Structure 1
């Protein structure tokens, strides 16, 4: 596939390619239409005509073949030949049979001396019959094969519409002695009437030696009366330089072949003419496409250049730049999309700034809480006694306190693995446990599959701290449970305590603050956690509070499943 460095070149060449494809498609359709036309109006018509003529001629052949045998055995015919009795009945019998057929015939009844006894031939044609070589040959054959029905072509020149090209002949025998001959000659005029009702241009009937019995075109008959067209393939014949589609039916049981020809010269001329016209039109279309492609490409390029200019301005931090140009509807939509995108970019930049600010505030507030002198004093004082009484436990405390302080002041990535944040919360709770001793119990139960998932840094500790500050009053013991699981493709981290809970009035006030995206409270860690989650992941995430006075509080953090650098919302960590 060719690669183009410029859109203009690509558009121009694309127009050219599509124009060539269109011309090729039209050419293919034209060829297909010509093939269909040839099959429907030449081949199909030709075959249909051949079947019609073949069926008719074969039927007539069967009738003549059967009846000449019956007539030669008829007693009326025999008595007439032997004794010249029943002449009227014999003539009527032969005349009625001849005239009742689809192809009428000339009948000739001869005695054993080959003299004509009865015939419907005109007197002028009787001489031609008597002198016919074919007649003499077939009589000689009948003498040798007196039980057979013989057929042959006939070239005797009859006048007055009695011309015949095919003869059925049979001996008339009495007690196995030849007493005469009966001949039935098919008339050419009746074949002509049948041929005129078919759609083929040329129809010929030959015997199995290609001797022509009938043809409506003498150009395919050679000097010795045989079928001999100029054939260059099995189905195409040429007559006087014109092409004809040819069907030859040589399956007739009488050894007769029916040949039908349909001219395809017109289709050939139309094919050549059509191809010439398509090439001429295609040439002018290509020239026109080249001209129009340049004009259209230039107009589109102007619109694209406007968009590129806008992108350059935005790349130079001019985020207030907007496109305003009257152009095509599609480019207007593109410009609107660009303008909307820049508006969203501005919004996201501002939103990101807010996220950063919220995160900074959370970490600063948390750091302030961790560096609370009272908290540090209590830890150091506890360490003093533990060093004297239990140096090993004091060492663990000191390590945990150091980790806690190091993690608090680390302003690296805003997201960490859940495992790291849980370690931080564990250190924090261990130090608080030392401070409150039996008044504080805590349990952490997190699904191990979640430990590699990313969560916002310092997102759990403010909730735990909130439980200690507000849940532990009047020297009452407090139990904190931290759990985590995947629910509906979300991570749900639950911090639950059995402390004092929240009164209904205070609960409503707290919920109002959490739902106000423009609130800027100074002393509510829950708001900062909730707002940071929503800004980072969307409004469907955040925290839910479940609390009842004197019955404890449960806070559920809902965050997306995140692994590595990308959010994979349908991924099971």
Structure 2
């Protein structure tokens, strides 16, 4: 952190500006700039050029090696396609569709021809010939015939659409070639449509090679040069061909890169940041026109540039020693400047509203004029700010008490009018006991709300008040209104602000009876994870979306200003409850308003037990 005082004359005391400017300006100019210029504009460029050329040649070599391996399958496939012996016997095989002994004879002859074409070294491990009825004749690992549902295969439609051109599959597992003992073995097939002498499609040729026999030579080439090197091979549809062990998420980044590079050149090298591995990588790529395979060689630049990093480390060590010596000298000179600044920083950082302008700090001792003046100004500012905050807090507290007193001391006049009307009707009918009950309840309620509105009461007393309020309401509505109060026994002595729950219950009665009876109000109290919670639920129409949005805005306003909004809003009782909870519990309060999916509204309030 830099502290700078401009325009202050140096009279008797040292200024901060002179100490730091001379120490660090010449250090940076004289040491760092020449080293960085020499290293990055000469050494790095030469080494980087050699690495790029080497990895690009390797990618071309790997691509050519794969072309040679695939060409073996292609050669066998072409030999079968142009063999008159195969064509004649396959035509006879097709003609004897219902003559099973003859078909067996011709299929056996075709197997022998396939073995002869493959040669004694087994250029390919399996040769299959399909007719369009799904009959397959195979020679190699599997010698025999079998029925195949061509339409269910992934390659059939693609091979047909190529009309005689080759189609190379992705690696697949096919246990019937080699038996269950090699069930994890993978193969790659080359397919093409088979034509008769009249250029009519009569079948499909498949040449199969073992996956390892194609890619083992590639691994032999890479292994001596590995150094963290990775090779990926994709086909024309951007399906991963090598290695088969990769998951989609591991090479998705490179698929996106392929789409961009394929339009640029057949081969090249690029450097990109891999966000998945969080490292910079050097990527060489080659596109094969013969196989339509794309070979990518990927290597972290930190491994490729290892010699550069070693040199960089040496330079940094020397640089660190020089900087340490410079810092040590600078520290000795500037310690008497930085220490008072740090002390002043901690004083300002630790200042709170309750400690603002209270006492002087004897630990701050400085002989620097600017710091002494700054600390003196800070103390004066603290005293003035403390005085202003005290006045503002006192005014706001009075305003809040007045608003709460007005809200808490109100009993809904409609409620009193209805109670008196009910008493009048019951008196005319000679029903005495309910009149006595209602009068006692109203008397208790009037006494409860007329005492100190700022007092703290137990939850048990507040619930008793709610119970008497609901008894009066029930005398009016009779069996149309049902209510239930369930509060855990351990919550009875919890201290809460007086008249905290009543506005929410009154809201539930007022709006919950706006639907066809019966009406139901449920009050539940529980303790969860050192928090007490009270939930008030009704079966009314619930809150409209506009009301919920308005309540959210008003609650945010209370949080920002710390005061209750002005009157004129229909949900002032709910906002009053939130304000009192916020003042008592701050961020530890619980206040939730939502609609029940089955109908009605649910309001939940609460706070910490400690």
Structure 1-normalised TM-score?
Answer: 0.38
Structure 2-normalised TM-score?
Answer: 0.35
When Rg is computed on C-alpha atoms for both structures, the one with the higher figure is 1
